[in-house]
Structure 1
């Protein structure tokens, strides 16, 4: 019995000892927890803010915009954006061993950034309860490194991309631009913003108060770059057309201008230029009017550039052939109180002479002899009054009026290009169709790989006959300034009165030239439209035709398209400054 009692006493002692130790440890831990959560609460909060789990979006590289030869029109370059945590900075206690007060750090940061100390101080104070604030966006790497070297609490950097446009103002309205958040705002950048953007990635990490990444947490989600877009534009032709159009606007003191070059066989837009323009890399002086892609958006009455299609309608009707004549005497035609006039009394003329002389009377008499909707039908089939459909923001539809009952004056004006409206691109599409043997193919702003499927809207022989007549316009008519040495050219001039607040303005004009080359086997179609030239010259043959000649000659050379005229028949360029060729208004 004594032995048993002696054996039990050591067991009770050990149990009480272990229980006592556990109790002491519990009290110590509880006391420490109470101290940290109640007495030293601010310390824990600061430590929590100093080491936090953050999720960061990894920006995706925006897709490039390229010309048809792979030359960049829009690229993204890496930059840094500086951000700050004002709350962390202001909650920092001064530590004589570690650094400066918040205000001292802000002054140090202002010096590194090159900004006013008072301004930056106010910025931090007004955002002192926020944990995220932009300091400076899209900063060059060397500048970001200099600012980060200031080692200011809460200041960190994150990668972004900045858009750069190598062609500058030359392709500004076509390519467009993005805002500071890399979102498309104009042009192709806006129209195809979703495809260009790509998909951002994501990463989660532990970060300290100074913005330093301590370690990654979990797996990163990689970003997916945006899709590259290859346009049909040939930057070589774009530069050439832009240079000549800008020179013409300056020389003739015009308000604005646009020009389009199309590949006759594929419908590709090889050049599309506008004046005025702007530099998308520096938009500090940008004016709203400069944003307009006038070739697609602006509408105008095409005037005599529509007469080849009136002649086409005449030949398609079967009532006329290439030898048919029209009596335009005495040089004018009265329709009630409305009078249609030619520059002179041309008497009896054939269809070719009608185009060479640009006879309004002749075009009107053709219209009166045909069914009332005959000219409307061919204009409609050529795409007049319908959007071209290249997917460009703000593309204009144009206007091709349709009446249940046509007044004779409406029939007449439609025949020589008044009473309807087109864009430069729409008119280029119509001429491209004529150049392509009457076969209309879709117009595209993107490079095409295969042969496009189109529609025959003008009989091939009719298109061929009208092309021959348009060659005569360039050889001996109002389009002589459009001649190109070694190449046959088919085209038509146009000069129309501009519409003002009270109707047609007597002394304000739009000057146009539309044509294609080589006429024997057309490859390129081009339209030049110059709005309100204010110099001594204002006719399409004086102002727009020379631009066509210079640009088309360069384009044919660049694309290595062989001359189609024998050496002995090569034409000498007409100097329109020394011997201006005047044509009738509306020509």
Structure 2
């Protein structure tokens, strides 16, 4: 009995000693070991900020989704459940098995990302060991392809990849939180221990874009491209007093909700990344330099454009008609290449270069949009005489549609240039680049283009509103010169002309069916979109009760603001060769 009691006493003493060792002496070691097996730090997903248009309409929203992930070792221990898993997530069982075997040393691998919560719950309800769900968010774009080039898109991890999603990624993304949880051997969370880091949801962003005007521009540009069988097109609309971008449309486009099926060419924001030779739309900038020089006024001195051909240094500069003597306003109205070239030849090269530069040519607009092109403008001191003449009617330099629209908005705002902005009410840099009185004269000169005999009449007319604008038709540059059959048709304008509120540029690339002139292809798009935009923005009419056939008429007669069927149409002349 003594022996038995002694043995039991020693055993009890040993158990007490062992318990003391485990629970006191080496408590922290075993606690850490236990935590390593059952305590996990898991992320707390945060919603990306919503993008709104200027009127509060959502353009990009985040919706909750679930991603299915697996612990490969645990799943492979229950290999017989893999076919059931594969059916639930819509995959091949053999592919899943091979995928898990290749990653068997890991504890976490994704099997299916961004499933709908209901579909993910169906998978989890199968109770397959090693299969778990993780809450995430997925981006959705209600306007689809209409706003695709402005917004861009996010990747599978909800980070911006293009467009404003990329430009404002830090603002929109927020910061995921983190918490410690206890999981059982099946990987299920059984207890939340503590919050390690509080989640910071993404901030919302209100754009300057007006979704209504964006839809108008998209529909009209799409219709024109289909009718003319053009390769591509762009339209930019700016708010003149602020420089805010109200609409920016490009075609072809893509669906940002299904990016995988699109091509890189469809995802390019051509209004920001592509450059064009502006053709005759640049002539008002030449006139700005001419008026600033003090040598010219809108009415004189007269410029002799002759019989429509002007041979300068063996180069034939041509007009569509023999216009003879033209005032500077007449040069704009008839879009005379000869007149623009002769005026430019009388100007100081430094003044002309500085004017082009001041209007933003050759520089980024500082809009903050990713991938924005700066265009090209040769340094003035390197201009040769013939290059100077050619630049007067829009060849030998490259601009983006946004740069051109911003130049016209500057004219419309009394010579005050604003940095274009995609954010509503954002502070932007502004600077006076030409005198207000010169800007007013330029608007009046541009208004003559849409009046009888002008290159944009009658297709740029808007009922009850005066329009100031300029057409442009340019041969496209090719290897070794300029194409004889491929054109860029453009129109740039301001409305209402008496107090400009909107500036817009329409560029249609290579129209192949019907006309290729800017006044016939692009001007109608401008008129239709601006007609709707002015009414949506409640801009008061400034041209009530007038329409033109050889001159303004007062009165209604049921034809106020309508388009006379027999009004003359004249457009600017594209030249076959624009460089020496």
Q: Fold match, TM over 0.5? A: yes
Equivalences for residues 19-168 of structure 1 within 5 A: 20-26=7-13, 52-90=38-76, 92=77, 102-168=78-144
1:500 to 475, 478, 481: 478
Give the superposition deviation at 1:48.
Answer: 7.0
* Aligned match of 1:572: 562
Confirm whether residue 422 of structure 1 aligns to residue 402 of structure 2. Answer: no
* Aligned match of 1:38: none
CA contact (8 A) 1:176 1:186 kept: yes
Equivalences for residues 278-289 of structure 1 within 5 A: 278-289=254-265
1:323 to 275, 299, 303: 299
CA contact (8 A) 1:156 1:210 kept: no
1:294 to 253, 270, 276: 270
Consecutive unaligned residues in structure 1, runs of 5 or more: 1-12, 33-43, 93-101
Residues 416-475 of structure 1: CA distance to partner in whole angstroms, max 9, x if unpaired?
11111100000000000111111212211111167x662221222221122112111111
Give the superposition deviation at 1:130.
Answer: 2.3
Give the superposition deviation at 1:333.
Answer: 1.8
Give the superposition deviation at 1:219.
Answer: 3.4
* Aligned match of 1:40: none
CA contact (8 A) 1:309 1:378 kept: yes
Confirm whether residue 178 of structure 1 aligns to residue 154 of structure 2. Answer: yes
Take 1:405 and 1:204, find their aligned partners in 2: how far apart are those partners?
67
1:270 to 241, 246, 250: 246
1:438 to 409, 415, 421: 415
Aligned residues: 550
Take 1:285 and 1:133, find their aligned partners in 2: how far apart are those partners?
26
* Aligned match of 2:206: 230
* Aligned match of 2:177: 201
* Aligned match of 2:348: 371
Confirm whether residue 413 of structure 1 aligns to residue 390 of structure 2. Answer: yes
Take 2:331 and 2:323, find their aligned partners in 1: how far apart are those partners?
9
C-alpha change, 1:63 and 1:23, in structure 2 (3 Å) is same
Take 1:508 and 1:575, find their aligned partners in 2: how far apart are those partners?
29
TM score, norm. by length of structure 1: 0.89
Consecutive unaligned residues in structure 2, runs of 5 or more: 20-29, 548-559
Give the superposition deviation at 1:27.
Answer: 5.5
* Aligned match of 2:315: 338
1:484 to 451, 459, 462: 462
Confirm whether residue 527 of structure 1 aligns to residue 505 of structure 2. Answer: yes
CA contact (8 A) 1:331 1:342 kept: yes
Take 2:37 and 2:564, find their aligned partners in 1: how far apart are those partners?
78
Residues 460-511 of structure 1: CA distance to partner in whole angstroms, max 9, x if unpaired?
2221122112111111211111100100000000000001122100110000
Give the superposition deviation at 1:71.
Answer: 1.2
Give the superposition deviation at 1:122.
Answer: 2.4
CA contact (8 A) 1:154 1:209 kept: no
Give the superposition deviation at 1:384.
Answer: 1.0
Give the superposition deviation at 1:367.
Answer: 1.0
* Aligned match of 1:41: none
* Aligned match of 1:538: 516
Report SS of the residue matched to 1:282: helix
Give the superposition deviation at 1:132.
Answer: 1.3
Take 2:299 and 2:216, find their aligned partners in 1: how far apart are those partners?
40
C-alpha change, 1:386 and 1:443, in structure 2 (3 Å) is same
Greater shift, 122-131 or 469-478, is seen at 122-131
CA contact (8 A) 2:456 2:571 kept: no
* Aligned match of 2:371: 394
Give the superposition deviation at 1:558.
Answer: 0.6
TM score, norm. by length of structure 2: 0.90
Residues 179-235 of structure 1: CA distance to partner in whole angstroms, max 9, x if unpaired?
101111110111121121111100111112323111122335321001211111111
Take 1:22 and 1:217, find their aligned partners in 2: how far apart are those partners?
40
Residues 314-339 of structure 1: CA distance to partner in whole angstroms, max 9, x if unpaired?
11111112221111113222222212
Give the superposition deviation at 1:562.
Answer: 1.3
The two structures, once aligned, show a CA RMSD in angstroms of: 2.6
Take 1:530 and 1:485, find their aligned partners in 2: how far apart are those partners?
24
* Aligned match of 1:559: 537
Give the superposition deviation at 1:89.
Answer: 3.3
Take 1:84 and 1:275, find their aligned partners in 2: how far apart are those partners?
42
Report SS of the residue matched to 1:404: helix
C-alpha change, 1:561 and 1:48, in structure 2 (3 Å) is same
C-alpha change, 1:89 and 1:31, in structure 2 (3 Å) is farther
Confirm whether residue 584 of structure 1 aligns to residue 573 of structure 2. Answer: yes
Take 1:435 and 1:31, find their aligned partners in 2: how far apart are those partners?
89
CA contact (8 A) 2:124 2:131 kept: yes
Take 1:586 and 1:384, find their aligned partners in 2: how far apart are those partners?
22
CA contact (8 A) 1:79 1:159 kept: yes
Residues 500-523 of structure 1: CA distance to partner in whole angstroms, max 9, x if unpaired?
122100110000000010000110
* Aligned match of 2:557: none
2:328 to 348, 351, 358: 351
Take 1:130 and 1:405, find their aligned partners in 2: how far apart are those partners?
63
Give the superposition deviation at 1:400.
Answer: 1.3
